[in-house]
Structure 1
Amino acid sequence: MPISLPLRRLWTLDKFAYSLRVFIAFSGALLFSGLMGDVALVIPLFLGIIACALSETDDSWQGRLQALLVTLVCFTSASFIVQWLFPWPWLFVVGLGLSTFCLIMLGAIGQRYATIASGTLILSIYSMINIEQHGGVDGDVAARQLLLLAGAAWYGLISVVWCALFSRQPVKQSMARVYKALGEFLILKSALFEPVRGVDVEARRVALARQNGKVVDALNQAKEMIFRRLEGQRGDQKLNRYLSIYFIAQDIHERASSTHYPYSALSKAFSTTMCCFAASGCWINRVAPAVS
């Protein structure tokens, strides 16, 4: 088997690109710590990378750059608020409650901001752990807070560059998920027409309904990905091609999910027809030697 074939299959996996970006970010942070001669710098850098990776949104590179700027502003605010209010427990509790409310309201704007808000909460927890481990706020802790933000900015930069170079890869993967789920749906749908008696039709209907939900989810995710990239790029031929492929899948799903006939009656009729064909075939096999 050629070496390129396993690599191409690996490239089509959903989490491979995400894992590769995190690996590159971790390697860069480790290299920086080695050059600075202080391995302890790896911890805040890694925590910042993890927080930013959890806040990553699916978008075009322009949208991801805007999301990165919002993420860094939220991270910076959360980090320094935790650092300033940590010595006063009551103020810290009040500030934590207000910041949580603001982040919840930010997440209500849309899925992109909800992801950023959850990542900001995670970075706030990392900041509290960082301060607690060093026994309070001092100059060293402030430097480590900056390293948290530097790690987040480093991964964000990798994410934006990656999205600019491979902007179509998530769309391809989403369309592959759509057609995979649609194929499984069609197989389950065809099982309702099998000319076999004594089959539990209700169990097959339940399995078909579950698979239908997976197809709908895959279609919605693919639609959101395509439409986010179509903003400002209406004339992009590749995106229009993906949109046409999406509409084909949607049309197939609409036709296949429609119900026009009681399947149990159809299955029974097909079973009777098959029995008639089998009986006629046996009769022909018996008569043919006698005639010859």
Structure 2
Amino acid sequence: MWRRLIYHPEVNYALRQTLVLCLPVAISWLCGDLQKGLLFSLVPACCNISGLDTPHKRFFKRLIVGGSLFATSSLLMQVLTLHGIPLPAILFAMTMLLGVLGEISPLHGRLLSGSLIAAIFTLSLTGKLPIWAPPLLYIGGTLWYGLFNAFWFWLWEEQPMRETLSLIYRELADYCDKKYSLLTQLTDPEKALPPLLARQQKVVDLINTCYQQMHMLAANRDNSHKRLTRAFQVALDLQEHISVSLHQPEEVQKLVEKSHAEAVIRWNARVISARLRVLADDILYHRMPDRFEMDKPLQALEKIARQHPDNPVGNFCFYHFSRIGRVLRTQRPLYRRDLMADRQRRLPLLPALRSYLSLKSAALRTAARFAVMLMFGSTLALFFDIPKPYWILMTIMFVSQNGYSATRVRIQHRALGTLAGLIVAAATLRFAVPESVVLLIMLAITLGGYLIIRKFYGWAMVGFTVTTVWTLQLLSLNGSAFLLPRLMDTLMGCLIAFAGMVWLWPQWQSGLLRQNAHDALETYQDALRQLLGPEQSPQKLAWQRMRVNQAHNALFNSLNQAMQEPGFNSRYLDDMKLWVTHSQFIVEHINAITSLAREHTMLTPALAERYLQSLEIGLQRCQQRLEYDGPGSDSNVLEEPEDLNEGPVTIVERHAKRILDHLRVMHTISSLAWQQRPHHGQWLVRRLRNK
């Protein structure tokens, strides 16, 4: 029981965040100086948003850099304010200067938000503390935060990676259940595939997260992580075999009508999904897995495959289920992968600065967006004669996310949560409650808020707003005076953040959809060149297969976000939804050919070269249809692939032929979709730009 409690992801996270916040408050309260403890506990907000609690092989180096940036930002804010420089100019210059961090690496880019929050929060302390006190507060708070988290990660060793691996296994179980519950319902891909695509997207996202964690920890070179590295390689094998599909609904229907194949296939799928859920708990709760056998379900499936040799469905399912069963039984991957060296590219400062000064830099656009929003917020505060507009500016920082949809949801939850929290706080301030009881209630609210913040951000904001008001009450004894101003500041900050995300260099996914589709086709072409080329390296094939899945994942994600954006073209997106469906079919065929290539079940060199040429022609035709604003008979479009129906068809040939069929359909869809495209902005560009 204690394992399920202490190792549960939400409980473990909530305990860590609550203790790092509340221990300084408890110590200062016992020492009779509660106000300093409350101020000290506010520093972890900067550390959280900067990702300084991320386990990393350069953990303490990142802490030093983060603490130095927080202290420097705080000192600059005070010095420049004392010299009479307007607040909008200070925030604009500071944001554009710190924006170069995003060009060094994505993880460094998170320090931008934390440093700006440190500078903004310093506004509330100006005039109340000596000029040296806030920078010292940030240095001490960051040191405490880092030491506590280092101790916590040492105490709960490997827990972040275990949580991600457990989620991967659980999502694979749900994906397997969902896929084979729709076995006889796949005749209409437009209805059957979207739920599968959504689950496949979650699996690939989690695998990508686990890759990043392994690279940040250098786990592939650390013997202490060997068991988790092996579990990750097993998950890659499972994802490869679970995600492949035959895509012959008529053959499935024939086999189901002639035998009890549907019940047997679902039996196998249920056994696999149940085992995956057990393994997910074993990984998370540090337990050794027990023995596993699925001989009887596999024997029943093999019998059906022998009884119907002309139907490919039985043999296809037996092939993949038998390999899944072997992996689950042995708990070892089918082959060893090179999980790659540290691929988290970090640019040195000077090259990063040169790249940052380019108008094509995403980091520059992000910094400029924040700079303009903060400048506008501080200017608006000056207009309304708000001397310290830190709440407006911090709201802008907290609700601004990478995309339109995420920002809109965060704004809704924060605004409604703040409103409800202020109402609750206004009611509770009327009661005369002893200080010790107030602190205990704040402790319980903080723990409860962190337990639900990942899934229910709005409800967590209700509790955090109450604790914030009571913190102000304990600091200045006038918390009730902050209620209405804080609500107005929150609403103003949310409106500014929303306007900035909509109008300031927005990254509309509908506009990026065409580029993502083009990039996905290029990744498929690279994979097929390796698969049908003269040399197949298992390590390179494994990495390329994941690149294929990630490229399609980016495409599918941009389509989903585009459908939630304002003013999108519904007819164009409906066509692209079908295009993405056929793209998913190609990904699954590449997954299947990858597993066959490692077992040397491939084509002769001459036949492989002919198929590769035809596939490259088909991919290039689809790319050109996306790239050129011209009629379907444009002279740049290559010739149709030649017909290769000669002799008996092998399983690899069957996959290649189906890829060709999907490419022909995608080319037709692209021609129709292009006529429905939006006629503004990026869409007026005749050719896609090379990255």
Task: State the TM-score, normalizing by the size of structure 2.
Answer: 0.35
In structure 2, relative to structure 1, the CA distance for the partners of 1:167 and 1:212 (3 Å cut) is same
Cα distance in structure 1, aligned partners of 2:206 and 2:261: 42
Structure 1: which 4+ aligned runs deviate by more than 6 Å?
A: none
Deviates more, 1:64-73 or 1:198-207: 198-207
* CA deviation profile, 1:84-141 (whole Å, cap 9, x unmatched): 112345354333222212322102322321222222222222111222xxxx3762x6
Q: 1:164 to 1:65 in 2, by over 3 A?
A: farther
Unpaired segments ≥5 residues, structure 2: 263-691
Whether 1:171 and 2:161 are equivalent positions in the alignment is yes
* 1:126-177 C-alpha deviation (Å, 9 max, x unpaired): 111222xxxx3762x6435533432232112101222233331111111101
Is contact 1:192-1:267 (8 Å) kept? no
Residue type matched to 1:119 in 2? G
How far 1:23 sits from its partner (Å)? 2.2
The one of 209, 213, 227 equivalent to 1:241 is 227
After TM superposition, give the deviation of residue 275 of structure 1 in Å.
8.4
1:52 aligns to 2:47 (yes or no): yes
Map of 2:217 onto structure 1 = 229
CA contact under 8 A between 2:25 and 2:38: conserved in structure 1? no
Report the AA paired with residue 247 of structure 2.
Y
* 1:268 aligned to which of 244, 248, 253: 253
Residues 111 and 14 of structure 1: CA distance in aligned 2, closer, same or farther (over 3 Å)? farther
Give the aligned partner of residue 4 of structure 2.
9
User: Do structure 1's residue 76 and structure 2's residue 61 form an aligned pair?
Assistant: no
How far the C-alpha of 1:57 sits from its partner, in A, is: 4.1
Q: Choose the corresponding residue for 1:106, options 93, 101, 104.
A: 101
What is the CA–CA distance in structure 1 between the aligned matches of 2:260 and 2:24, rounded to whole Å?
A: 71
Identity, in percent, stands at 24
- Matched to 1:268, the amino acid is Q
Q: Aligned runs of 1:1-292 on 2, under 5 Å?
A: 5=1, 7-55=2-50, 56-60=52-56, 62-90=57-85, 92-131=87-126, 136=127, 139=130, 142-194=132-184, 201-230=189-218, 234=221, 236-262=222-248, 264-274=249-259
User: How many angstroms apart in 2 are the aligned matches of 1:75 and 1:259?
Assistant: 51
Q: RCO greater where, 1 or 2, for CA within 8 Å and sep 6 or more?
A: 1
- Higher helix share goes to which structure? 1
Q: State whether residues 193 and 266 of structure 1, in contact with CA within 8 Å, keep that contact through their aligned partners in structure 2.
A: no
Matching residue's letter, 2:250: A
Deviation string 1:225-270 (CA, Å, 9 cap, x unpaired) is 1222226x72x334233222212211221222223332x2144224
- The offset of 1:211, in angstroms, is 0.6
Aligned counterparts of 2:261 and 2:118: Cα–Cα separation in 1: 71
Give the SS at the match of 1:90.
Answer: coil
- Residue pair 1:72, 1:152 contacting (<8 A) in 2 also: yes
Q: 1:178 to 1:35 in 2, by over 3 A?
A: same
| Aligned 8 A contact 2:20 2:148 in 1 | yes
> Residue in 2 aligned with 1:288?
none
Q: Secondary structure at the match of 1:193?
A: coil
In structure 1, stretches of 5+ residues that fail to align are 278-292
Q: Secondary structure at the match of 2:85?
A: helix
Deviates more, 1:108-117 or 1:178-187: 108-117
3-state SS of paired residue (2:246): coil
RMSD: 2.7
- Number of matched pairs: 261
1:257 alignment partner AA: S
Farther-moved stretch of structure 1 (87-96 vs 47-56):
87-96
Closer, same or farther in 2 for the Cα pair 1:258/1:130, shift >3 Å? same
